[in-house]
Structure 1
């Protein structure tokens, strides 16, 4: 058939050209290397910088615990959890919403404390006017004042006795490691007290609905299912979020 040999030759030439790159030696692909080692420091400043970085990473890793232990976050999230259980909405609002609301309220309530820490400790330290130890001592003062205002004397005496510490003459004699757990259990008691008060109106609705259903002979109908719309309606009519959030913020003296 005319033209067939030429066509076959062209196809053979094209196959050879395509196979040449595969037959050529593969070029080495440069790979990055990573080396970790310990070298001798040439100045004390290099050692101090490494120690500061280690302390910063340690504080960052403990930031969630610091947020839970030394701020108002614990009271807020416990009360919100009690509220959700009292209404009986199961996972509404979801945990992410409650935690986010508690975090923003924590930032709002703790803003005066954070501003004072920034003015008295962080800014002088960044300007190299004070050392790290003095900056930490200065930053602890506003936090300790906040915790002292929310801590009951009974709880403070409990941990002073457990630590076998001598009776302090003033607040400065109280160790921070004694103050933090006393502040925590005081916050938990306050949060549980508020949660109990929140439960009462919703418990009354549950009891009324259960009594009505029982008197009507509807024993197979779950009272919780019938009471839930009434509890949500009550919470909306009284503007519950406004009342609860306002009361929580005012309870910290804001």
Structure 2
């Protein structure tokens, strides 16, 4: 069993949505400190002495290196920062896909790499916020980036698990955040998603499926993609991507 109380946590993308909820619930669970990271740390409301706003752009190598130097005591990393452009995978202009890969894949890899030493020292935790579109192709270029994060999370686990680090993948469909504001679909409450994640982490789980749709998709990966879409996500036409 893993205890989050007294841990020192880094949360990327902490200024809104799921990231902000991670900060709130981690403080409620008695962590020693939360480095709330954002590109603009002025967007972080530091209303608790344990909360430390931290400038971090996960796509900037210098920014990541500087953050690791400022926060050498981190024992838990929550890779939450992400973007969604949802472009066509066949668009000859690959800028959307490249931007998503930089943030959604290379960002978590860079942050985890930079904090590997303290994570190993503290037998720490890495939490990667992925998506249901890691498995079901509803998000175009965004889905490609999240599928890559799914694979990277499993690879991180193979490398870091034997060194005592718990690597957790989080998978969820639509969440009621700014990212999915345009989706006319049922959405999970961010507070419920984060509660499931933190409960699962403390139980030692390495994969968190945060809603019924995601659990159904995960259980039926052997089905053709057309069957999955028809059965679980018939509203997909014209929608933006899940979280």
User: What TM-score do the two structures reach when normalised by structure 1?
Assistant: 0.21
Greater Cα radius of gyration, structure 1 or 2: 1
Q: Identify which of structures 1 and 2 has the higher relative contact order when contacts are C-alpha pairs closer than 8 Å and 6+ apart.
A: 1
Greater per-residue helix proportion = 1
